[in-house]
Amino acid sequence: MTTPIYPTSTFEFVAPGKTTGFDYTRSGNPTRSALEANLAELEGGTMCRATCTGMAAVSTVMFLFTAGDHVIAGNDIYGGTYRLFADVMRAFNVTFSFVDMGDPAAIRKAVRQRTRAIWIETPSNPLLRLTDIREVVKIARRHKLLTIADNTFCSPVLQRPLDFGVDVVVHSTTKYLNGHSDVVGGAIIARNKALGERLAYLTNALGTACSPFDAFLVLRGVKTLTHRMKAHVENAQAVAEFLAAHKRVEKVYYPGLSDYPQRDLMRRQMKAAGGMLSFDIKGGRKAAERFVMRTKLFTLAESLGGVESLIEIPESMSHASMSARARAEAGIKPGNIRVSVGIESATDLIDDLTQALDQN
């Protein structure tokens, strides 16, 4: 009933040049292959490669580009992805424009002669802004650009970008797909075969594939994905409504709230609003720092998507690698607090927030 772990680096050949389908674990491993088949199916793709981290997936995809290429991305993407794009990729002369992805005119304006791709991350992090995936795909196709979507925040249970015409999906399986905060991993899923083969080639050439042990754990996590997502969404909705009504809270960012500005878009491309939210606390940075020290059920930690609730301050933690100016441009305030709502009892979660806010 469970896929065995194949902890082997190499496989016996049947005859010179003739394998049983596996020769060397960097190139392929039965445990990892089982996970890849699973994730390809969940996202509706033709090819998947499971990588050792989410950033390994993003980095591998970057090797599709060559010096002089240009990519358009949102201005409030995941901090680690931003660092790779804005800093590391500069040495390879691959350049990026960071735009407001909620504004199709801004995307169109950013297209240059050497633009090769548009990077989509929706909902964004930590402000939960949505990008209209269909609209971006339309722009990309007009200019013959690739579209790549980081689907980590939703998982395929809540959103399937390939169904909307996106070419490549990446994941940090560290988050919802594994769901138990005991693995770092990633995945690349491609819609068409040729691009999938190129990405599989790159994963092997770069050596970014994940270990059989990690593949086993993610496979186990995926078995409960649908049910975990349901619990995350229910709890996040309850927590968001509680925070929105609290007098010490300035603003809540959660797509499930009735006054959320992109509610129609959320309904068009997502099955539910997800398990992530953030809010601005009254009193700014100092108030935020006091608050996160007072919660007991919400652990002060980066990362997200596990069954346990986590809380953090983007300015000094998850988004510290962005410059203060880049954060300000993205609208991330010093008093912004990001919450990954777990699957604990909603009453317990709200009791904990109540005591922490009341002491503040």
Ligand X SMILES: *Cc1c(COP(=O)(O)O)cnc(C)c1O
What are the residue numbers of the active site?
Answer: 26, 78, 150, 175
The residue from 70, 116, 175, 327 that contacts ligand X (CB under 6 A) is 175
Residue 150 binding ligand X, by CB under 6 A? yes
Smallest gap from residue 78 Cβ to ligand X (A) = 4
Smallest gap from residue 126 Cβ to ligand X (A) = 10
The residue from 40, 47, 48, 55 that contacts ligand X (CB under 6 A) is 55
ω into 156 cis (within 30 of 0): no
Q: Which stretch binds ligand X (CB under 6 A): 53-61, 219-227, 252-260, 266-274?
A: 53-61
Q: Which stretch binds ligand X (CB under 6 A): 169-177, 238-246, 255-263, 288-296?
A: 169-177
SS3 state of residue 96: strand
Closer to ligand X at the Cβ: 38 or 53? 53
Helix ranges (DSSP H) in the chain: 30-43, 54-62, 79-86, 104-110, 133-142, 155-158, 193-206, 212-222, 225-244, 263-269, 284-294, 324-330, 346-359
Residue 172 binding ligand X, by CB under 6 A? yes
Q: How far is CA 310 from CA 130, 304, 326, 340, in A?
A: 22, 7, 24, 5
Residue 152 binding ligand X, by CB under 6 A? yes
Smallest gap from residue 182 Cβ to ligand X (A) = 13
DSSP string, 294-337: H-SSSEE-S---SSS-EEE-TTTTTTTTS-HHHHHHHT--TTEE
Residue whose C-alpha is closest to residue 239's, from 127, 355, 348 = 348
**Backbone Cα Rg of the chain:** 21
Smallest gap from residue 58 Cβ to ligand X (A) = 6
Region 117-136 residues binding ligand X, contact defined as CB under 6 A: 121, 125
Smallest gap from residue 55 Cβ to ligand X (A) = 4
Q: Residue 269: which region, alpha, beta or left (left: phi > 0; alpha: psi -120 to 50)?
A: alpha
Residue 60 binding ligand X, by CB under 6 A? no
Residues near ligand X, by CB under 6 A:
53-55, 78, 80-81, 121, 125, 150, 152-153, 172, 174-175, 184, 186
